[in-house]
Amino acid sequence: MSITYREVKADILRQITQGTLAPGSAMPNEVDLAASYGCARATVNRAMRELADDGIIERRRKAGTRVRQNPIRQVRLNIPIVGQEIEELGATYRYALVHGQAEPAPNWLRARMALQRDDRVLHLTCMHYADGAPYQHEDRWINLSALPEAEQHDFSEVGPNEWLVSTVPFTDAQISFHAVQADATIADYLDCTEGDALFQTERTTWLEGRTITFVQLTYRRGHRVTMQY
């Protein structure tokens, strides 16, 4: 039975943690590693890619691969489907489309999404509920130059995030986290007091350099985000 990339990765990691491969030391090339493990080079390549993604080793073209002096710990944050998130909490999920309209992109959004002057966007305002209580307010803008089909889609039953995840991939994303004060509109949606401190995320996604969507997600008081690395 041939060795798997997970076993190759685990063995290389063991050598690093035990000091056999010291911080800063050069790694054998993939051809030699494949020969030593008796596996295909592709198996070694996947193990090395994952070790690089984990911040354990550093791969440089022409310079080769070295064990990092100081491993980089990276946080991975999945983009959740809010309905699944709520149901995983053991609550009943409900979605409501509050507003949806195609319109010219306002100046601030054109700058934010790198849009052209004549670009149009679909502006959607949505609410998500857990056991009937407000959970998340969604204020989303979709670039219709990139996704013209969004203008004809009916978002009254399925939220835009779920539709986007199933319709178009993304290659890059930027996520910001904020502490904000509830204005009168948000306070009304989230059933809180104007001026209350709330948690908000802003997310922009791109596909091969073209902006797909920008969204502000504001959560009810007490919301918590946990990340692992």
Q: What is the pLDDT of residue 19?
A: 87
The type of residue at 223 is: H
61: helix, strand or coil: coil
SS3 content of the chain, % helix, strand, coil (to 5): 30, 30, 40
Helices (H), 184-223: 184-190
Query: Encoding tokens for residue 139?
Result: 């204020």
Residue 93 bridge partners (DSSP) = 130
Q: What is the pLDDT of residue 80?
A: 76
Q: What is the pLDDT of residue 147?
A: 95
Of 105, 142, 178, 43, residue with least CA distance to 12: 43
Q: What is the pLDDT of residue 229?
A: 59
Q: What is the pLDDT of residue 221?
A: 87
CATH of domain 5-67: 1.10.10.10
Domains 5-67 and 82-219 share a fold: no
Helices (H), 54-193: 82-88, 107-113, 160-167, 184-190
Of 98, 193, 179, residue with least CA distance to 137: 98
Instruction: Give the integer Cα–Cα distance in Å for 14 and 21.
Output: 9
Domain ranges of the chain: 5-67, 82-219
Label residues 200-229 b or e (16+ Cβ within 10 Å = b).
bbbbbbbbeeebbbbbbbbbbeeeeeeeee
Q: How many CB atoms lie within 10 A of CB 56?
A: 19
- Per-residue pLDDT tens digits of the chain, which is 229 residues long: 678 999 999 999 999 988 899 999 999 999 999 999 999 999 999 999 999 888 899 988 778 899 998 877 665 666 778 999 999 999 999 999 999 999 999 999 999 999 999 999 999 999 999 999 999 999 999 999 999 999 999 999 999 999 998 888 888 889 999 999 999 999 999 999 999 999 999 999 998 889 999 999 999 988 887 766 5
| Domain 82-219 top-level CATH class | alpha beta
Q: What is the pLDDT of residue 227?
A: 66
φ, ψ for residue 24 (rounded to 5)? 90, -10
Q: What is the pLDDT of residue 73?
A: 65
Residue 67 bridge partners (DSSP) = 57
Please state the pTM of the whole predicted model: 0.70
Strands 172-181 and 197-207, sheet pairing: antiparallel
